[in-house]
Amino acid sequence: MVYLACSWPDLCRRPPHDFLAEPYRGLAEDWTASWVRTLVRLHGRRHRSLAVMDAWSALYPHQRLRTPGLLRTEDPFLDPEFVEQAKRLPLHRRYDSRQPHPYWRCKSQVVRLMPCSALPYLPTTRQIFGRAIVSRVNLPELNAPHLLTAGILSDQALSEDLDPMVATRILEVELWLAEALRLGHRLDD
């Protein structure tokens, strides 16, 4: 599907699971292929335009790692009731050609919420936080002892030329797993 090739070219170009050990690599590749087929069918059946596909993809799939701790992470704009109300807003009303910047035109509903005094401080282009996210990981010092011991990562995973975003995810899962184990959870096959 052209939409997926344009929206997620990395997913279409290379296997994203080289850092995983077997059998997890094969399982992840099978799951990803199945997910892509399901996504293509979903878009084919329910979304008749690229605009609708893009709007859907702006929210889904949305899945966060759940904290193993006692505090819940809150995302007020992902509250199911809020999302249902927002999805009812027709796509053509989400765009406002009167806005002075292309980015604001696509985010017109958010811009309308802002007081006039805040407008000069709003970004006029999409903000990419990749550099800030990647700065959390020092690639030469990346260590994932729990994932390696559990056999989830391949032995070469951390020594290869890792994509910094993959390294960030490895670190997140390692920290999550370390906390879960600290709280008394176990890894069971």
Per-residue pLDDT, 97: 94
Residue 130's pLDDT is 65
Task: Take residue 169 and report the two structure tokens written for it.
Answer: 């995810």
Domain ranges of the chain: 1-43+50-55, 78-126, 128-182
Q: If you search the block for the tokens 């919420």, which residue do you land on? A: 113
How far apart CA 107 and CA 58 sit, in angstroms, is: 12
Instruction: Note whether 44 and 156 are within 8 A (CB).
Output: no
Sort 157 into a burial class: Cβ within 10 Å, 0-12 / 13-18 / 19+: buried
Mean pLDDT of 39-61: 83
Asked if residue 69 has pLDDT above 60, the reply is: no
- Structure-token pair, residue 8: 């997620």
Residue 154 in this model has a pLDDT that exceeds 90: no
Residues in Cβ contact with 135 at an 8 Å cutoff, skipping those fewer than 6 apart: none
Predicted local distance difference test score (pLDDT) of residue 54: 82
pLDDT tens digits for 79-130? 788 888 888 888 888 889 999 999 999 889 889 989 999 999 999 998 766 6
**Average pLDDT of the residues in 142-156:** 89
71 versus 178: the higher-pLDDT residue is 178
pLDDT, one tens digit per residue, over 1-37 is: 677 777 777 777 666 677 888 898 888 888 888 888 8
Q: How far apart are CA 162 and CA 115, in angstroms?
A: 43
Provide the pLDDT for residue 178.
92
Where helices occur in the chain by DSSP H, the ranges are 2-7, 9-13, 24-46, 50-57, 80-87, 91-94, 102-106, 108-113, 130-134, 145-149, 164-182
How far apart, in Å, are the Cα atoms of 151 and each of 22, 154, 179, 186, 189?
8, 7, 18, 14, 11
Tens of pLDDT along 168-187? 888 888 988 999 999 999 88
pLDDT at 149 over 70: yes
Question: pLDDT tens across 119-147, in order?
Answer: 999 999 987 666 666 677 777 788 899 99
> How high is the pLDDT of residue 9?
75
